[in-house]
């Protein structure tokens, strides 16, 4: 069980987090490379200064934060993003495919210069 855990200065590579519940988990300063995240619960998860590479997020992401993270070959696909915070870096290297976002999250994505062609607003 990883709920409520904190990980700092970790380099996580070629790992499978599928079906994991990462509720209130905090990742600080590290890397996520080639991570499988099928049906992973991302709720109140915090990422601070994390480098993401070669990951597809195809789940709901609720009340999460991406603070000064870097992205390369990262895709959010068929994802619903709510109350999710993006700060610090432009979202270069991030692809959105058939995603939905609430107004606040959409504005954070827009400010981070994300390509929002395939992100639609959730109805209020």
Using pLDDT thresholds of 50, 70 and 90, give the confidence band for residue 124. Answer: low
Using pLDDT thresholds of 50, 70 and 90, give the confidence band for residue 38. Answer: confident
The overall average pLDDT reported for the chain is: 92
50-61 residue pLDDT tens: 999 999 999 899
CB 87 within 8 A of CB 66: yes
Asked if the model's pLDDT at residue 1 lies above 70, the reply is no
- Mean pLDDT confidence for 4-14: 92
Asked if the model's pLDDT at residue 23 lies above 90, the reply is yes
> What is the residue-wise DSSP string for 37-91?
-TT-BEES-EEEEEEEEEEEE-S-EES-EEES-EEEEEEEES-EEES-EEESS--
In this prediction the pTM is 0.90
Which CATH number does the domain 6-121 belong to among 2.160.20, 2.90.10, 1.10.287, 2.60.120?
2.160.20
Using pLDDT thresholds of 50, 70 and 90, give the confidence band for residue 43. Answer: very high
């Amino acid at each position: 069980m990883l709920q409520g855990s904190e990980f700092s200065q970790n380099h996580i590579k070629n790992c499978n987090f599928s079906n994991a519940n990462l509720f209130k988990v905090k990742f600080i300063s590290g890397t996520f490379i080639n991570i499988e995240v099928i049906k992973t619960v991302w709720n109140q998860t915090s990422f601070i200064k994390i480098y993401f590479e070669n990951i597809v997020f195809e789940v709901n992401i609720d009340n999460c934060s991406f603070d000064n993270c870097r992205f390369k070959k990262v895709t959010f696909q068929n994802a619903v993003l709510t109350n999710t915070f993006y700060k610090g870096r432009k979202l270069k290297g991030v692809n959105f495919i058939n995603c939905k976002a609430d107004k606040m999250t959409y504005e954070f994505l827009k400010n981070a210069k994300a390509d929002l062609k395939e992100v639609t607003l959730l109805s209020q």
